[in-house]
Structure 1
């Protein structure tokens, strides 16, 4: 009994130490951000060695909001992120449904290509994408964000495809018997299955 208690105490101590180490490791980047936000222009240019010897400048937060058009930039970011998220989710769900339910020649080959694009890091595509948009005259407006959203996301396409594949074939057959085409089957039968589960 005593050995069991000691073993449990050691396990508890090890757990607490592990949690404390994790908190410190995850907290360091946050501390760095706070110290950098409070540093003056000269202290930032000196590098990280002088960060812990800074004299806090609380006016940095006021300057960040007043010296630039902060509300406009925030609304712009909110609009672009919402636009991209909505379009990406909608297009990925549609593509995932097509891969899951529409039987067509070359479907599996195309899905393999979509999965293969997940291997390429997004950072590696930034410069070629910018050059492409610049040559098409799409720099400086919202159309690249619309295009990114409409293109879908490979990972989301994979998730939606797996989800739509898991839905029983009986629902699809019943919709077709009732006279639904693919679009109505997708919008009225398959899409509502997500929130209902």
Structure 2
């Protein structure tokens, strides 16, 4: 019986502080592109946490989050200059459609006030993913000021955090969690009046 040779994840090609892009070019690990790709990876990991926490009551959203993860891999590959990767317009359309559908389902309870992050545990995890999504968007925008980034990617990453906000509201609504709404109040700081 032939034994299988284990494939090592260690390539040692980055031992001198460089890493390879999808097009084969090696660049310093300190290059901003790796901040972008690292944030994309972090966001994808947080989405994995959210997927693992969503109950079967949210199976359709859980399945859609798998698609979002897949799309993020394509975005990362396109940013890393893979000649094979290209984000499709249908990904953006589907993201917008899912967001609109969820929001329409909460029409009676929708608020225009700022909401405190959190709610039930799943919504709190989604809020964390939402904030990482916003950071990912900022890194993509900054990177686009130096490198050509598809306008479709910029639109998608902008809409993604919107969808995640709507999803956390939807989860809280379905779980009958009463949102804490922030409102501005005049506060007197001791010693100022």
Which TM-score bucket, shorter chain as reference? Answer: under 0.3
Q: With CA pairs under 8 Å and 6+ residues apart, which has the higher RCO, 1 or 2?
A: 2
- What TM-score does the superposition give when structure 1 sets the normalisation length? 0.27
* Greater per-residue strand proportion: 2
- What TM-score does the superposition give when structure 2 sets the normalisation length? 0.27
